[in-house]
Amino acid sequence: MEFAKCEPGSEPDLIQFAQRLLEVSDQPVDCVAEPTGFSTAVNLRKHFGQIVYNSPHDAAVRSRTGGSVALS
């Protein structure tokens, strides 16, 4: 699956875009990081955790199984 690149924006917007891609695709964090504006998956995980208080993987799994993860 190929993603359109995210336009530069605020960090919460970038995290929300990454979260949505993780929810609707089976792509791993490594494949979602760069198109959403993060230089590496490690960088995405760090910033994701600071805003969502969860790992990107856990948030995506929770969303796919009916749980909800709110952005702060």
CA 37 to centroid of chain Cα atoms: 10
For residue 72, what pLDDT is reported? Answer: 47
**Token pair listed for 69:** 């993860």
Total-model pTM: 0.70
For 4-62, write each residue's pLDDT tens digit: 555 556 788 888 889 888 888 888 899 999 888 898 999 999 998 888 888 887 877 77
Which one-letter DSSP state was computed for residue 72? -
pLDDT surpasses 70 at 1: no
Q: Domains of the chain (ranges plus CATH)?
A: 11-64 (1.10.10.60)
For residue 67, what pLDDT is reported? Answer: 65
